[in-house]
Structure 1
Amino acid sequence: MVDIRAIGAALLLCLTPALAGGKAAAMEARGAFMQTGVAAPRPIGHQGFCRRNPDECRPIARRSRPEPLKLTPALIHRIATINLSVNSTIKAESDEDVYGVEEYWTYPTTVGDCEDFALLKRRKLHEDAKIDLADLLITVVKKPNGEGHAVLTLHTTDGDFILDNLNWRILRWSETPYSFLKRQSIDDPGRWNRITNGRDVLVGAVAK
């Protein structure tokens, strides 16, 4: 069994600014935060999800606090616990195998595709950890092999972090091996924006 405390410590290590060599330089080049640009087409699966769950895709009322989520040790532990719980409870299976269609976004109960993991983490982090939905953004990326993939971005004052069903660690977005394409809008979860600084894949950062 994986030690939850170790996972919390791993996330705390991600917040440490001291990094060595080329990896640090690559992270600095990408920046701590994703930069979003023009509107992007919604993924087909998300369009269907919004039709079935319209309340989940309405614009978010403007928040009184101007900054992203501020992390605390207790909140880090809670985030790590939820991330591990979903990754260990849900079995990864393709939409084609489960539903007989290429893309079907939904909340999983026992099995699900990558975007289903992201949806469930988003809901649990909002309901159980009281994190603003504007700081929980489903994000579409491309793996080094060219395959599409979906992850959840945690938008914090310390930067953007990635919750991924392929990795129990919670990493800075710049530490992942992915090319970042688009993500949900902070103000409107039914809309998406392109990520303008997300295509430089970090060499040597491989999910274990």
Structure 2
Amino acid sequence: MPGRWTTVLGGCALALAIIAVPGGAGSRAAGQPPAALTEAGETSVPIGWTQFCAHFPEDCRSRPARIETLALARAAWGQLTSINAHVNAAIEPVTDMEQYGQEEVWTYPLSGRGDCEDYVLLKKQMLVRAGLPASALLITVVRDRKGEGHAILTVRTDRGDYVLDNETDDIRLWHETGYRFVKRQSREDPNRWVTIGPASAPAAVASQ
């Protein structure tokens, strides 16, 4: 990526020492959703991801050497919160139709403008370059509170699945977002996608 993202990433380190890590997951109360999303089998790959990989094959390598869950220590939490906030501030939201004249263009926001998928792609790349495991950073399709298709980054941690979202700088557990989770990348292979199962909340179909 161009040097501008290196500059953004460099500024993130300043906030690490003052960010509190959320408490441990602990035991789950009766009726409380599970801390981690439940997956329920392989599903279709979004066309936007397929087209993105044709342009950026180096960022779509299959099968990580190890399947890792992120240990949510202070440094890792600081990287998540800082990069999420910095990318949200750096990119101007705009639809694919407004910018490209067509829907479902997944790409890095090189123009400084982009839609939800573009935010997610940049956040994932920056977090991987910062040393976080790619197998714990999963592009995810949801339905938002308006019932519209939306993309977020879910982070598989030892304290549950957290969400990075261009709609907010707050990082929350998946069940605190109000979203209906549909599908996401497989941890074993980013080019395979899996359905989010019914045990994870009311699932629904979203934009393919």
Instruction: Quote the offset at 1:77 in angstroms.
Output: 1.3
Written as runs of structure 1 = structure 2, the 5 A alignment for 1:86-165 is 86-109=87-110, 110-128=112-130, 130-165=131-166
Whole-Å Cα distance in 2 between the matches of residues 7 and 57 of structure 1? 34
Q: Tell me the alpha carbon deviations over residues 55-104 of structure 1, each in whole angstroms, 9 at most, x when there is no partner.
A: 322312331xx651101112211221111100000011001111111110
TM-score where L is the length of structure 2? 0.82
Residue 182 of structure 1 aligns with an amino acid whose one-letter code is K
Instruction: Quote the offset at 1:108 in angstroms.
Output: 0.7
Whole-Å Cα distance in 2 between the matches of residues 7 and 112 of structure 1? 30
Flag structure 2 segments of 5+ consecutive residues without an equivalent: 1-13, 204-208
Residue 114 of structure 2 aligns with an amino acid whose one-letter code is G
Residue 126 of structure 2 aligns with an amino acid whose one-letter code is K
CA contact (8 A) 1:108 1:116 kept: yes
Percentage identity across paired residues of the two chains? 41
Match of 1:31 among 6, 12, 34: 34
Match of 1:8 among 19, 30, 33: 19
Instruction: Quote the offset at 1:46 in angstroms.
Output: 0.9
TM-score where L is the length of structure 1? 0.82
Whole-Å Cα distance in 1 between the matches of residues 139 and 101 of structure 2? 23
- CA change 1:45–1:122 in 2 (3 A) is same
Q: Tell me the alpha carbon deviations over residues 166-195 of structure 1, each in whole angstroms, 9 at most, x when there is no partner.
A: 011000011111000000010111110000
CA contact (8 A) 1:185 1:191 kept: yes
- In the alignment, does 2:202 pair up with 1:200? yes
Residue 113 of structure 1 aligns with an amino acid whose one-letter code is D
Whole-Å Cα distance in 2 between the matches of residues 106 and 198 of structure 1? 29
Q: Tell me the alpha carbon deviations over residues 30-59 of structure 1, each in whole angstroms, 9 at most, x when there is no partner.
A: 201111121111112111111222232231
Residue 58 of structure 2 aligns with an amino acid whose one-letter code is D
Q: Tell me the alpha carbon deviations over residues 107-130 of structure 1, each in whole angstroms, 9 at most, x when there is no partner.
A: 1131001010000000000102x0
Residue of structure 1 in register with 2:77 after alignment: 76
Residue 57 of structure 2 aligns with an amino acid whose one-letter code is P
Flag structure 1 segments of 5+ consecutive residues without an equivalent: 19-23, 202-208
- CA change 1:39–1:87 in 2 (3 A) is same
- CA change 1:16–1:70 in 2 (3 A) is closer
CA contact (8 A) 1:91 1:112 kept: yes
